[in-house]
Structure 1
Amino acid sequence: MSQTADVKVGKSPWGPNDERGALNLLDESVRADVLQRADPSRVYDLSVDYFVGMPSFQGAGDPSYQIFMSHTPQGTVVDNLNGVGEHVNRHVCYSGDVVFMYTHTGTHIDSLNHFGVDGQIYNGYRPEENLGSRTWTKGGAETIPPIITRGVLLDIAGLKNVDCLPDSYAITVADLEEALDKAGLALQAGDVPFVRTGRMRYWPDGTKTLGNPPGLSLDAARWLTTQNIAAIGADQECVEVGPSEHEDNWLPGHTHFLAEAGVPMVELLNLEELAKDGVQEFCLIAAPIRLRGASGAPMRPLAMALRKNA
């Protein structure tokens, strides 16, 4: 374990009122380029289903995913809450649901207010002025725009010729460079790299998909942000390696990406079909639920392979 991570809160180059961080790199030219090259013959859904009993963070004290019906066809007949009577309620069959969950359940994106350093979140926002009784007023999930850009698969499990990287394997800068070289790609400003460890092949077995994750070392995380990426993602629960390699910071990757570099993080992606089909660069289209002030939100990322000769 090294001595310190030495992560500091970052100031946005887009000004003192910025809440989007690196997502500001997603301009019209980035969107136009990737959309015109997208092959719509197959759309890859990179998200997971939500269901009762799914792996989540109950061990950290967060609630498990729950869904229950607030209205059923037969119950509507009995309750007659709408006041239209039995005959109409037997004719019109009404169902409704309620969902209760931790916002970091399943495939989701971390907002920039999720982690901070020394009492501040990205761009110097402090809780004394910007944290209410319910949510932050800065850096929440509602500030994340639709993400339409080039995605790049960094298949580290494939690079190592294993089904899944070993527990707590720290992905290095050399691993990332070798994966890019093998794919014949280089990262460009506004790209979103997705790191495959192989963990999602075991989903939804929580004993194999959560805990002691292989993931990015802090050096690898810092190298990625020097490439001007817009966001980062992985097929495990925290993108970075766990447990931490740094004694002063239990999630140095989170504090670097979110608080220092302003780079949102997408977690628990299903990258298995992309890897199986050898799709290494793709048009990424993704957006979270606009939960105002939330530290994260469910996301359904979609991918379409890019035509090579477009």
Structure 2
Amino acid sequence: MHQIRGDSLLNLENPTVVDLSLDIYTGMPYYPGDPQPSVEQYRHVSVDGVSLKRLALGTHSGTHIDAPAHFVIDGKTIDMLHPLAACGYAKTIDVSGSLSARMVLNDADITRKGEDVILIYTSYYGMREGAQSGVFPTLSRRFAEGLVDAGYKCVGIDSPTVGDAEVHKTLLGSGVIIVENLSNRLVEVISKKAYFICLPIRVMDGDGAPARALALM
């Protein structure tokens, strides 16, 4: 998974780039109980000769990667992961038509055809209902076990969480990296050949980290 293959499932020389990252700003949605993100102007170019902002974030603010240490005792922290741990050819599945706000995913097609990453489009950030309410589209444990059995190395979702503690432990305990809070632009990647790139900031001993996520098509 950590090597970008040259056998070209798609042309990476001049790709279409879809930014799957959420904006970071004061008042942005955040998971209930997590630190509230804020972006403050710290210096002003008109006064100080330079502009500088101060960020206050949790390790799981915005688009982010969950490291195994998030739920696994003695699990790898974000700075211990390979830089390309959340990168690879991706399969994107659309489950938006079958979801209520709380319905878990069970029966979607997760068959691998050479992909290392599976991306799950729920349309959560298209609906905007349920922000900060704790009502999100989530995976079932059975679905998570299916992803592990299928051999995926990374799962991404356009929801604040993939699921409850057992779902996290099932994935992270098996070495499957989790990417949460992908943007609603994931709809543009459905059924397309894509290479997924998600690079976290390097937080020492981090249980996760905000990240920039892209799909190259």
TM-score scaled by length of structure 1: 0.63
Gaps of 5+ in 1: 1-25, 77-92, 123-138, 181-185, 241-249, 306-310
Q: How does 1:23-62 map to 2 (within 5 A)?
A: 26-28=1-3, 30-33=4-7, 37-38=11-12, 40-57=14-31, 59-60=32-33, 62=34
Q: How does 1:2-151 map to 2 (within 5 A)?
A: 26-28=1-3, 30-33=4-7, 37-38=11-12, 40-57=14-31, 59-60=32-33, 62-76=34-48, 93-116=49-72, 120-122=73-75, 139-144=76-81, 145-146=83-84, 147-151=86-90
CA contact (8 A) 2:156 2:178 kept: yes
CA contact (8 A) 1:284 1:304 kept: yes
Change (3 A) 1:196 1:231: same
In 1, the alpha carbon distance for the partners of 2:149 and 2:11 equals 26
Partner of 1:176: 108
CA contact (8 A) 1:150 1:190 kept: yes
In 1, the alpha carbon distance for the partners of 2:52 and 2:166 equals 41
- Larger fraction in helix: 1
Are 1:195 and 2:167 matched, yes or no? no
In 2, the alpha carbon distance for the partners of 1:234 and 1:31 equals 24
TM-score scaled by length of structure 2: 0.87
In 2, the alpha carbon distance for the partners of 1:148 and 1:276 equals 18
In 2, the alpha carbon distance for the partners of 1:142 and 1:35 equals 30
Larger radius of gyration: 1
Are 1:290 and 2:215 matched, yes or no? no
- Of the structure 1 ranges 143-152 and 219-228, higher mean CA displacement relative to structure 2 is found in 143-152
Partner of 2:176: 263
In 2, the alpha carbon distance for the partners of 1:238 and 1:41 equals 29
Structure 1 vs Structure 2 CA RMSD = 2.3
Residue identity in the other structure for 2:38: Q
Q: CA deviation at 1:217?
A: 0.7
In 2, the alpha carbon distance for the partners of 1:277 and 1:229 equals 18
CA contact (8 A) 1:199 1:209 kept: no
Q: CA deviation at 1:74?
A: 3.6
Residue identity in the other structure for 1:198: S
Residue-pair matches, total: 215
- Larger fraction in strand: 2
Give the percent of matched residue pairs that are identical in Structure 1 and Structure 2. Answer: 27
* Matched position secondary structure for 2:50: coil
Partner of 1:232: 155
* Matched position secondary structure for 2:108: helix
Residue identity in the other structure for 1:217: S
Gaps of 5+ in 2: none
